Amino acid sequence: MSTESTSTTDAAAGTDLRFAGLPGRPGKIVAIHLSYASRADQRGRRPAAPSYFFKPSSSVAASGSTIERPAGTELLAFEGEIAVVIGTTARRVSLDDAWDHVGWVTAANDFGLYDLRANDKGSNVRSKGGDGYTPIGARLLDARGIDPAGLRLRTWVNGTLVQDDTSAGLIFPLAQFVADLSQHFTLEPGDVILTGTPAGSSVVVPGDVVEVEVDAPAAPGAPSSGRLITTVTQGADGFDPAVGSLPAVDDAQRADAWGSREAAGLPDAADEPAAASPTLSDELRAKLEKAPVAGLSAQLRKRGLNNVMIDGLTPMHPEAKLIGTAKTLRFIPNREDLFRAHAPGFNPQKQAFDAVRDGEVLVIEARGDAGAGTLGDILAIRAHAAGAAGIVTDGAVRDYDAVSAVGLPVFSKGAHPSVLGRKHVAWDYDLTIGCGGAAVQPGDVIVGDSDGVIVIPPTLVEEVVDAALAQEDEDGWIAEQVAAGGRIDGLFPMNAQWRARYEQHVAQQEGR
């Protein structure tokens, strides 16, 4: 099936050439999140079962088409894939019968704009649904003459081979996608399943040419899809902030889009220089050292913030003051399949501890469940070596004595010998969490002492600490008067007479 023309519609024939590489316009396009062992190893996690997202049929393009990188974006990435096209209706089909419902296979390119990924939360609606983001073709291969385990997938960028894998490298066989999806809805003729990409996916820029080919080298005649060709261009249009979220990238997105930190031109995370907290100057930190948590709590309460205490925790070192900005980590309740998929390798717990920087407090949401450890001595040592200010968890600590010996200020619900798989799955980090009944956002100011741990919004910290220190001076003077025999009534709080005496005292102290 040739796709020589790049125009959208053949006016004479009345056909839409975007779908020239397919039997027609597909009713559904279903894509797989993570399916190749090489890609899973690259990402540091291996799923226990396939997971999916939809792409609109309007995103389909034919071989020879162009794809625009929108203005104001940088991370347009290709993903060479095997496309499975349904030939006959499939509903609740068995794994053994599933391949019989496949009509064709061909090449596809599942382009994605990582700049929009953060706000899609896995749905990929905006990041992968754009016009031209699903080139398919160039020719269809009859599935009846093909061993689904004997397909080869290759991708070239500007003539250089960058992806080379086979369907034998899939974590799940191709037929499983058909059987699994048919459990949930009817797969109809012409529907397309994009079966995931192997390692080697990376970023492309305007002027780059990406080619994808699927073939069956061992089949009679070695049938091939031919090369699916897409050229990247620079778009003139960006995104309107009045109607939706804007592109946003960080180094984590860059590393994912390029395939690694090295490919993205980023230093190894462990080698990055520790950066001082942007919120806490040395002067502000010195003020917080003097301000007790009880006093800070009172000042936040005066400003209408009552739910800022992280409750139920005990300090490992009651004499140590905890001051820093929050870096957050979230655990979800353990579920065995999710743990198997999410826990192995460089999981979010390890990522968070590796990413913590000088002056940060790692704050961990464990739902108040102290039935398993949320960190141990190795992670505590890593945090200490990175210059972390401390750790706060509403769960338990494993290797309690060893963690204590590290010397970091740590607040927790106590000790427990079990590891994560008993109660928790480390799920994600650098997001808003709930810890000990308090909402915590990355960058919030965390202060802890023997009274407990408090969360201070960064925009209020200067005002609150100054007020707390002023109140400490006042309370100290009141304590002196009580110790000298003064009566509480009228003194605490101060009436006008006592207030006048206190202000006179302050004036005398300032005049020295």
Helix (H, G, I), strand (E, B) or coil at 156: strand
Angle, CA 231 vertex, CA 157 and CA 223 arms, to 5°: 65
**pLDDT tens, per residue, the chain with 512 residues:** 333 333 444 433 346 899 999 999 999 999 999 999 999 888 777 888 899 999 999 999 999 999 999 998 999 999 999 999 999 999 999 999 999 999 999 999 999 999 888 777 678 999 999 999 999 999 999 999 899 999 999 999 999 999 999 999 999 999 999 999 999 999 999 999 999 999 999 999 999 999 999 999 999 999 999 999 999 999 998 888 778 777 878 787 888 889 888 888 887 655 554 444 446 888 999 999 999 999 999 999 989 999 999 999 999 999 999 999 999 999 999 998 888 777 777 788 888 998 898 999 999 999 999 999 999 999 999 899 889 999 999 999 999 999 999 999 999 999 999 877 788 999 999 999 999 999 999 999 999 999 999 999 998 999 999 998 888 877 778 888 888 888 888 777 878 887 888 878 877 777 76
Find where tokens 């309007």 sit: 58
User: E strand or H helix at 311, and its extent?
Assistant: none
Helix (H, G, I), strand (E, B) or coil at 152: strand
Phi, psi for residue 103 in degrees, rounded to 5: -90, -40
CATH 3.90.850.10 corresponds to the domain 9-236 = yes
Q: Where do the structural domains in the chain lie, given as residue ranges?
A: 9-236, 306-456, 470-511
Helices (H), 91-151: 95-98, 125-128
Domains 9-236 and 306-456 share a fold: no
Residues 6+ apart with CB under 8 A from 480: none
Q: What per-residue string of b and e applies to 320-333 under the rule 16 or more CB within 10 Å gives b?
A: bbbbbbbbbbbbbe
Distances (CA, A) of 137 to 16, 30, 90: 14, 16, 23
User: E strand or H helix at 175, and its extent?
Assistant: helix 174-182
Phi-psi region of 137 (alpha: psi -120 to 50; beta: other; left: phi over 0): left
Pairing assessment for the beta strands 112-113 and 322-333 based on DSSP bridges: unpaired
The alpha carbon of 337 is separated from its chain's Cα centroid by a whole number of angstroms, namely 20
CATH class of the structural domain 306-456: alpha beta
